[in-house]
Structure 1
Amino acid sequence: MDNSDINKGWRKEKSSNSLNEVFSSIKIPENASSWKKFMAYVGPGLLVAVGYMDPGNWATDIAGGAQFGYTLLSVILISNLFAIVLQHLSVKLGIVAERDLAQACKDHFSPGVNFVLWIFCEIAIAACDLAEVIGSAIALNLLFGIPLSVGVVITVIDVFLILFLQSRGFRYIESIVGGLIFVIFSAFLYEIILSQPAIFPMLEGLIPKKEIITNPSMLYIAIGILGATVMPHNLYLHSSIVQTRNYPRTTEGKKEALKFASLDSSLSLMLAFFINAAILIISAATFHTSGNKDVADINDAYMLLSPLLGTTLASIFFGIALLASGQNSTLTGTLAGQIVMEGFLNIRLKPWVRRLITRLIAIIPALIISMLYGEKGTAELLVFSQVILSMQLSFAVVPLVMFTGSKAKMGKFVNKMWLKVLAWTISAIIIILNLYLLKETIF
């Protein structure tokens, strides 16, 4: 089976992507060991994992741990397993069909449907960017005393940071992201050692409980965790950046690329699971057990960590990790926005223009809320942004499951029956939970 066999299932040639035109030069060594080949594929998974540990996750995980202890650990675990499956499908679409999800949607759906999907995806990216803006502004406020409104405006500067990094090449971006993830990981490993969580209640929290569904307050945060964990724009992003590897475009070449790229994705997401779970565990061990169950935002957590854990380093490490998280998410949000606009609309904007538009959309509500309502308002806006992300998720997941389950589009690489059932089950769970949330929110 060659590329022409797969391309028969698509109505037209894929549109070009400026990102892959610039960065698709990372050569995969042909006769090297499996380890060296795998290391050549490492990178895109880390960029995707960033979206699973952004400031939006912090807000939902802190609130969940403080209010309900370790109970919602099971939601983080299940969400992460969902993410591993969906990102694998995203990798498969990119490697086999050599299309990102936006390009695939443009090929398959009518212009009207594509426009709606593009709008929903832009809303998701704006919601994600809103979380990054608020998270970075809060970190600047906590570490350096910079007012929230000023911190929100300062986040515009990252436009120039993005331009600089993109000019250096894709491997440079991946290295920076990997370094920042290491900072976040180290900070939370230190926090977990300080907080000394109870092992057995923590393990028990990994088992799902009925009350997560029956308790409306718990369900709201659980869906927020789902939205903060499985990011819709990451499905578009991963299907594109996985193509930055210059692997042989043959059946065997694609099989090998799919194996190594999926391993990169799964291992990176397990790292993201540790960080997400660590935030909730620290919140449960420090706040819930000490009776501070009303801690629902990053500011409160920062202020209470040092007194409760007995060292000022606890809060400082927390703030540094938050700042690293916000900057990391900024990088991937920019790339995702570029991919989505080009894939759906075939409109090419200069990266700094695209980034500035997205950031200004996020800055306006963040600036208004921070000026009018201060810390409490920005914290609530942060959690709400994650619920918005969750609501948009179905519009990315369903097309992805459709395309990778199509024999005509994927040839021999089509999802096996067990994977089709699993993928559609995950889609159904996401849709049902979001419909329930919508009903509860409206009525």
Structure 2
Amino acid sequence: MGQPGRSTGVSLATAEAGSSDGIRPVVEGVEQRPTSKDQAEVVLLRTAAFRRNGAEKAKTALEKTKHLALAFSKFIGPGFMISVAYIDPGNYATDIAAGASYQYKLLFVVLLSNVFAILLQSLAIQLGTITGLDLSSMCRVYLPRWLNYTLYALAEIAIIATDLAEVIGTAIALNLLIPKLPLVAGCALSILDVMAILFFYRPDGSMKGLRLFEAFVCLLVLGVVVCFCIELSMIQETSVGTVFKGYLPSSALVESEGLYQACGILGATVMPHSLFLGSGIVQPRLREYDARHGLLPQEPVSAASSTTDGYDKPTYLPSHAAIKHSLKYSITEVGLSLFTFALFVNSAILIVAGASLYQNPDALNADIFGIHDLLSKSISPAVGTIFALALLLSGISAGIVCTIAGQMVSEGALRWKLKPWLRRLVTRSISIVPSVVIAAAVGRPGLNAALTGSQVVLSSVLPFVTLPLIYFTARSRFMTVQPGMARYMLESDDEGRPITGSVSLPGGIDMSNPWWLTVAGLLVWLVIVVMNVANLVLLGLGKA
């Protein structure tokens, strides 16, 4: 028994002395072999380290999510204002007619129109973000004068037609809610209401004030959504599967009446003035980013403070950093707004009409007054009241947005040098006069005819407005951004052409659309043109 002990002791001593007799590796291997306790400790340490790493990663992911949510929340607002254009009173007339005639079969057109709208609005936001100019200003600066004036005239016609629908819708809603209130008085009240609210719209003022204004518009949109949620909850004996089947293409699209109503839905959904609006309301957030990060240079001397030069007020051109930061949030926000609120409201109008008015002979030729009465009788009086309230909220919010778009068009195309409140009064008056005249002269039948006709006008103008948008966003000449700080563009008084700050220098970053996106835009434009031509032919033949 002692011999092994001595051997081991000698071996250990030899090992400690640094012997290399071959015993050391074996002994060391025996001595260094971990016990089960050591293994357990290693496992525990590794588990703890893994948990710490997982917690740190989860914390990092949570912080990133919070950061993205906070950054995105600062861009909420413009999408709601744009979506207002897609739930205006004109949509009520077209969606109700489609639901009464074909029940849910034209929901596919509502969905397709919203997809078109998201694509075109994304192009509008891209144009306004990258160039710093709205669509109307781009036409003035870069297109021949005769073409700019032609497009301005068409845009003004579209805005008048749009505002006509807003005022008529507001007047009808007020008359439905307050039967003793005359239609002419309703038109007048819509003017005062919108004018009073527009005094608070200051795109060049503080971001806090602008966000409060946008929040007010958001509340109006949410009010419309709540009204139709209540209306949908009151519908009975309607299969969900039948409703969702309407989002698939159907044979109704090849019928003359179905094609006519599809064109009406397209014209009422994809609104020309919303493209001007979308390209003109993104600049304040770009300016805020540049100012916060020290990328905004001092504004050059303008005509307001100098009598020796011939320059107008300089135009802000955002930095590349501001564009990169803002573009993704702006497009995401408008896409979500249109695909949720606008699509929901338009679908809800058609679904309510299809569920309550389909195969009802009195509904086919009924105006909004008649539809209100039919809803009140076929479902309940509360549904009729909620319908009128939703129409009122839509008319007020759409009137506000349409007036802002009209101001952008006149300022961009003509560079009106009037005080802001006077400019708003002029643009609003141009649009309001026809509705007041119609309400006073022919009353209820004339208002309904004007409301329907306004949607045909909008659908006809749409191709002329969308083509310059696709053209500008596809050309690197207009969509090239210089690295570094933000800049200012100066324009001459006589021609309205860029003097400085707009020329693309070597080393610029090309942010024009890829070829496939341009092709997609052209395909959408082609579909709009074909549907409009077919619509006009059907009208001419008296088959629609």
Give the deviation of 1:263 after TM superposition: 0.8
Provide closer, same or farther for how the CA distance between residues 210 and 255 of structure 1 changes in structure 2, counting only shifts above 3 A: farther
Q: Contact between 1:129 and 1:358, CA under 8 Å: does it hold in 2? A: no
Equivalent residues in 2 for 1:416-435, closer than 5 Å: 416-435=514-533
TM-aligned CA deviation for residue 417 of structure 1: 2.1
Distance across 1 between alignment mates of 2:536 and 2:423: 31
- 8 Å CA contact 2:223–2:390 kept in 1: the answer is yes
Partner Cα distance (2:425, 2:538) in 1: 35
Once residues 50 and 80 of structure 1 are traced to their aligned partners in structure 2, the CA distance between those partners, rounded to angstroms, is 13
Answer yes or no: is 1:201 the counterpart of 2:242.
Answer: yes
Measured after TM superposition, the shift of residue 297 of structure 1 is 2.5
> In the alignment, residue 356 of structure 2 is paired with which amino acid?
T
Structure 2 residue 175 is the aligned partner of structure 1 residue 105:
no
Matches within 5 A, 1:22-33: 33=67
Q: 1:361 corresponds to which residue?
A: 430
- Residue deviations 1:289-339 (CA, integer Å, cap 9, x gap): 5555425422112112122113x2211111111111111011111211111
1:64 equivalenced with 2:98 (yes/no):
yes
Per the TM alignment, residue 49 of structure 1 is displaced from its structure 2 partner at its CA by: 0.5
- Percent identity over paired residues: 40
1:179 to 2:277 alignment: no
Q: Give the stretch that moved more between structures: 433-442 or 176-185.
A: 433-442
Provide the rounded CA distance (Å) in 1 between the counterparts of 2:82 and 2:534: 28
Partner of 1:86: 120
Q: Which residue of 2 aligns with 1:41?
A: 75
Partners of 2:250 and 2:417 in 1: CA distance: 47
Aligned-pair CA distance for 1:107: 1.9
Counterpart among 333, 348, 365 of residue 278 in structure 1: 348
Letter in 1 for 2:260: Y
Q: Which residue in the other structure is 1:154 paired with?
A: 189
Q: Distance in 2 between matches of 1:289 and 1:201?
A: 16
Contact 1:159 1:356 in 2 (8 A): no
Contact 1:337 1:354 in 2 (8 A): no
CA offsets 1:146-177 (integer angstroms, 9 cap, x no match): 12122122222125323432268321210110
Q: Is there any run of 5+ residues in structure 1 with no aligned partner, and where? A: 1-30
Mark the CA change 1:346 to 1:32 in structure 2 (over 3 Å): closer, same or farther.
farther
SS in 2 for 1:117: helix
**Structure 2: gaps of 5 or more residues:** 1-64, 203-207, 291-317, 481-509
1:65 shift after superposition: 0.6
Corresponding residue of 1:401: 470
**Higher helix proportion:** 1
- Matched residue type, 1:225: I
Q: Please tell me the residue identity of whatever aligns with 2:228.
A: F
2:320 pairs with 1:251: yes
**Counterpart in 2 of 1:326?**
395
- 1:384 maps to amino acid: G
Shift of 1:386: 1.0
Bigger RCO (CA 8 Å, 6+ sep):
1
8 Å Cα contact 1:165-1:173 kept in structure 2: yes
Q: Distance between the aligned counterparts of 1:348 and 1:206, measured in 2?
A: 48
In the alignment, does 2:412 pair up with 1:378? no
Does residue 229 (structure 1) correspond to residue 299 (structure 2)? The answer is: no
> Could you say which structure has the larger radius of gyration?
2
2-structure distance, mates of 1:230, 1:93: 18
Letter in 2 for 1:80: N
TM-score by structure 1 length?
A: 0.88
CA distance in structure 1 between the partners assigned to 2:531 and 2:404 by the alignment = 29
Residue 380 (structure 1) shift: 1.9
Alpha-carbon separation, structure 1, partners of 2:277 and 2:417:
16
CA deviation profile, 1:41-65 (whole Å, cap 9, x unmatched): 1111111100000111111111111
Q: Name the counterpart of 1:74.
A: 108
Deviation by residue 1:361-394 (Cα, 9 ceiling, x = unmatched): 3433323333443323211211110111111111
Task: Give the residue type in structure 1 aligned to 2:289.
Answer: Y
Report the Cα distance in structure 1 between the residues aligned to 2:263 and 2:365, rounded to whole angstroms.
19
Q: Is the CA contact 1:62–1:296 (under 8 Å) kept in the aligned structure 2?
A: no
Distance 2:279 2:90 in 1: 23
Q: Structure 2 vs 1, CA of residues 302 and 413 (structure 1 numbering), >3 Å: closer, same or farther? A: same
Q: Distance in 1 between matches of 2:443 and 2:400?
A: 27
- Change in CA separation of 1:198 and 1:377 when aligned onto 2, cut-off 3 Å: farther
Which residue identity does 1:94 align to in structure 2?
Answer: G
In the alignment, the residues of structure 2 paired with residue 345 and residue 188 of structure 1 have an alpha-carbon distance, to the nearest angstrom, of: 40
Q: 1:224 to 1:353 in 2, by over 3 A?
A: farther
Cα distance change of structure 1 residues 293 and 307 upon mapping to structure 2, 3 Å threshold: closer
Task: Pick closer, same or farther for the CA change 1:367–1:346 going to 2, 3 Å.
Answer: closer
Total equivalences in the alignment: 412
Q: 1:340 aligns with which of 405, 409, 427?
A: 409
Maintained 8 Å contact 1:126/1:358: no
Cα distance between partner residues in 1 of 2:427 and 2:361: 40
| 1:269 paired residue number | 338
Instruction: Tell me how far apart the structure 1 counterparts of residues 376 and 117 of structure 2 sit (CA, whole Å).
Output: 33
Partners of 1:358 and 1:385 lie apart in 2 by: 18
Shifted more, 396-405 versus 406-415: the winner is 406-415
Preserved contact between residue 106 and residue 252 of structure 2 (Cα < 8 Å): no
Q: Which amino acid aligns with 1:383?
A: T
Q: 1:233 to 1:160 in 2, by over 3 A?
A: closer
CA 1:252–1:67 in 2, change beyond 3 Å: closer, same or farther?
Answer: same
**C-alpha distance in 2, partners of 1:159/1:192?**
29
Q: Are the counterparts in 1 of residues 363 and 370 from structure 2 also a CA contact under 8 Å?
A: no
> What is the rounded CA distance, in whole Å, between the counterparts of 1:358 and 1:68 in structure 2?
38
What do the CA deviations read for 1:328-356 (whole angstroms, capped 9, x no partner)?
A: 01111121111111111111333443333
Per-residue CA shift, 1:229-254, capped at 9, x if unaligned? 11111111111101110234443432
AA in 1 matched with 2:429: L
Q: How does 1:279-294 map to 2 (within 5 A)?
A: 279-288=349-358, 292-294=362-364
Q: CA RMSD in A?
A: 2.0
Does residue 139 in structure 1 map to residue 173 in structure 2?
A: yes
Q: Is the 8 A contact 1:163 1:351 kept in 2?
A: no
